[in-house]
């Protein structure tokens, strides 16, 4: 895992190595172990290394191909690098290291751009091909690793993080008011290739980009293949196939030459990873190299005194079952506001919710414990069908198909009742799944705009990434939309920044593309049955997980007591917002904002989520000016 950056000048002017060094240095947290540069007239590449595999100097980047024609900077992991290395050796390629970086170079030499289809992993890469005088950039299938860029008439500039682009004073720092509008009104943080900055774009997941004197060309190289949809698969076959794929995915992601740990929230996904990893590492038939795991797994969990959010009753059975070494972390409101500016500086955008702070604290504690690689359950809900709104899509699909028996069963066995706190959370998620035209009718008319919205924002157009899924079921379409366009891209962005801020590589076993392809091929009944979400996961791993976990029906997720945290420091928040820039810019109406803040201060009819968005936008704007992060509540 690393930080990458680079510049290709169209005007043939030489690249300044000082600028490249500045771009690399601002990403030092992504790679504290090494740095490297390649400059050849109008092309320059920069690299910061977090050493994970082959810790020797042989893994240094930028790395050249055997013939010297290609230079590569690469952020991520290719988990099937050993398999590919063996295949490439049969074609005559020779290797001088154990690094996956060298495998990428050989694969590109052998197969060209088509090498991407052979990789199983996560990556953002940039490869300079001197023979063709072009820069080849690519991002993994799900966008686990980031890639940002800016282009003007003189140059193409890219990096793992936006702040590295701003190391070049010619890169504009202009807020994208369409994105800010979508965040303030709709709580959106994902806009396709758009970002919170005008003229700063991100390369979409599953796409590659070619840059040469003719300009930029972007092309998709992978998408879910719905021709494999198999509604007739038996339960036994689906269980066996899923189990094989999931065990293999976890096993691949345990590869490391540095210490490995796991996130454990108490939910099904993280519990499944911890339990399967334990079986792989310590089962009766296992003979793996445990050097970088130790005598026990290390599991890291966020805990709270607030029972709405605390998961210890679900975490402890997993710890007991696996014998993992438990590390409990206790995020609180004081810590949140002390760290908020630093957190937003790393995220480079306003944060959607305080649950990110729990993730932040877990990653920080893991690094303090000496862990460098963390396995996490990100993607499990979107792949396995874990959010309650999916249940409504499942019911709608049964109604659409006329399957009244399934609909009756779904209504009878729906997963539990909802309290107000859970219902608000679900409605926020569910809104993002509605067609854009519905969202516009519900929330985007001049007459229906929030009274607190400032004049500058009232003419903004709502930005949202949309996809047209051809999956044969409504539930499958809903899952694909969340996987590709809405929920998951935002969660992966947060995961990357929270982990890399503490020099940790996060790995997500549920996003092995083979597993995702397989789950997309299954009928709805393999995902929801008898009122149970994630039915296949529960069935396939019921002998590995504690029974109370495999049969658990309620879901908290990475929740935090955000409302009580905000109220605890409400006066400080009012002072911080004060005559804030969000008001000065005309994004929020002063009079309406003051009224809301005063009513909230009296603990009546508060909209804590709205004030959270105002606060984060204010923090983000202040950090735009390159001001060092401070403590919000001081």
Q: Which two tokens stand for residue 562?
A: 């955000």
User: Of 450, 390, 429, 433, whose CA–CA distance to 187 is shortest?
Assistant: 429
Q: What is the DSSP string of 487-518?
A: HHHHHHHHHHHHHHTTT-EEE-GGG-HHHHHH
Tell me whether the omega of the peptide bond preceding residue 156 falls within 30 degrees of 0, making it cis: no
Strand partners, 300: 263, 327
Q: Is 92 helix (H, G, I), strand (E, B) or coil?
A: coil
User: Of 128, 145, 129, 280, whose CA–CA distance to 202 is shortest?
Assistant: 145
Q: What is the DSSP string of 553-586?
A: -----S---HHHHHHHTHHHHHHHHTT-HHHHTT
Q: How far is CA 174 from CA 7, 53, 141, 177, 617, in A?
A: 20, 38, 29, 9, 14
User: Of 198, 217, 207, whose CA–CA distance to 132 is shortest?
Assistant: 217
Q: Which two tokens stand for residue 459?
A: 């003419």
User: Of 335, 198, 196, whose CA–CA distance to 613 is shortest?
Assistant: 196
DSSP 194: B
Q: Is 301 in contact with 328 (CB distance < 8 Å)?
A: yes
Q: Is 357 in contact with 331 (CB distance < 8 Å)?
A: yes
- How far is 196 from 179, CA to CA, in rounded Å? 5
**What residues are annotated to the active site?**
2
- How far is 598 from 452, CA to CA, in rounded Å? 13
Q: In what order do the strands lie in the sheet with 121-129?
A: 63-64, 70-78, 121-129, 134-139, 207-212, 215-220
First to last CA, the chain: 35
- How far is 487 from 515, CA to CA, in rounded Å? 18
Q: Is 182 in contact with 188 (CB distance < 8 Å)?
A: yes
Chain centroid offset of residue 408 CA: 36
Angle (deg, nearest 10), helices 388-401 and 420-431: 60
User: Of 381, 359, 384, 229, whose CA–CA distance to 300 is shortest?
Assistant: 359
Q: Is 545 in contact with 407 (CB distance < 8 Å)?
A: no
- How far is 253 from 492, CA to CA, in rounded Å? 17
Q: Is 139 helix (H, G, I), strand (E, B) or coil?
A: strand
Give phi and psi for 333, each to the nearest 5: -65, -40
């Amino acid at each position: 895992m690393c930080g990458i950056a680079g510049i290709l000048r169209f005007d043939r002017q030489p690249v300044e190595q000082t600028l490249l060094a500045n771009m690399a240095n601002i990403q030092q947290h992504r790679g504290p172990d090494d740095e490297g540069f390649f400059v050849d007239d109008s092309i320059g590449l920069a690299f910061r290394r977090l050493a994970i595999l082959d810790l020797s100097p042989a893994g240094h980047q930028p790395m050249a191909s055997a013939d010297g024609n290609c230079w590569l900077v690469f952020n991520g992991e290719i988990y099937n690098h050993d398999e590919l290395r063996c295949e490439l050796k049969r074609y005559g390629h020779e290797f001088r290291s154990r690094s996956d970086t060298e495998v990428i170079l050989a694969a590109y030499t052998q197969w060209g751009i088509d090498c991407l289809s052979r990789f199983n992993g996560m990556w953002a890469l940039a490869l300079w091909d001197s023979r063709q005088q072009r820069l080849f950039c690519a991002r993994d299938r799900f966008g686990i690793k980031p890639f940002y860029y800016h282009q003007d008439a003189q140059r193409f500039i890219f990096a793992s993080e936006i702040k590295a682009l701003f190391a070049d004073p010619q890169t504009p720092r202009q807020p994208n008011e369409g994105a800010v509008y979508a965040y303030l009104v709709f709580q959106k943080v994902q806009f396709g290739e758009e970002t919170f900055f005008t003229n700063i774009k991100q390369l979409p997941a599953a796409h590659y980009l070619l840059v040469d004197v003719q300009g930029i060309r972007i092309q998709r190289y992978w998408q879910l293949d719905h021709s494999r949809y198999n509604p007739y698969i038996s339960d036994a076959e689906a269980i066996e196939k899923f189990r094989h794929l999931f065990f293999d995915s976890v096993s691949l992601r345990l590869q490391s030459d540095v210490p490995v740990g796991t996130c454990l929230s108490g939910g099904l996904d993280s519990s499944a990873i911890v339990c399967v990893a334990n079986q792989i590492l310590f089962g009766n038939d296992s003979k793996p190299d445990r050097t970088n795991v130790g005598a026990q797994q290390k599991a890291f969990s966020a805990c709270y005194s607030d029972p709405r959010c605390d998961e210890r009753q679900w975490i402890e059975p997993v710890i007991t079952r696996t014998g993992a070494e438990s590390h409990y972390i206790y995020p609180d409101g004081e810590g949140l506001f002390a760290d908020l500016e630093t957190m937003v500086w790393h995220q480079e955008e306003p944060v959607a919710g305080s649950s990110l702070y729990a993730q932040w604290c877990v990653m920080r504690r893991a690094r303090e414990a000496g862990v460098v690689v963390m396995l996490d359950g990100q993607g499990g809900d979107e792949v396995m069908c874990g959010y309650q709104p999916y249940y409504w899509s499942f019911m709608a699909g049964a109604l659409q198909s006329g399957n009244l028996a399934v609909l009756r069963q779904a209504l009878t066995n729906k997963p539990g009742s909802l309290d107000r706190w859970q219902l608000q959370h679900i409605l926020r998620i569910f809104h993002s799944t509605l067609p854009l035209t519905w969202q516009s009718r519900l929330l985007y008319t001049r007459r229906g705009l929030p009274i607190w919205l400032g004049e500058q924002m009232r003419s903004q157009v709502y930005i949202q990434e949309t996809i047209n899924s051809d999956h044969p079921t409504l539930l499958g379409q809903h899952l694909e939309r969340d996987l590709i366009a809405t929920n998951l891209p935002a969660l992966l962005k947060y995961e990357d920044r929270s982990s890399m801020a503490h020099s940790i590589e996060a790995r997500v076993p549920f996003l092995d593309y083979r597993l995702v392809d397989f789950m997309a091929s299954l009928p709805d009944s393999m995902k929801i049955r008898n009122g149970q979400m994630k039915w296949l996961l529960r069935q396939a791993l019921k002998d590995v997980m504690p029974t109370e976990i495999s049969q658990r029906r309620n879901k908290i997720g990475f929740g935090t007591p955000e409302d009580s945290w905000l109220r605890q420091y409400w006066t400080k928040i009012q002072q911080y917002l004060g005559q804030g820039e969000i008001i000065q810019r005309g994004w929020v109406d002063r009079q309406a904002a003051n009224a809301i803040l005063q009513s909230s201060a009296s603990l009546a009819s508060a909209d804590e989520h709205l004030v959270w968005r105002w606060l984060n936008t204010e923090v983000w704007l202040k950090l735009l000016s390159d001001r060092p992060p401070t403590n919000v509540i001081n």
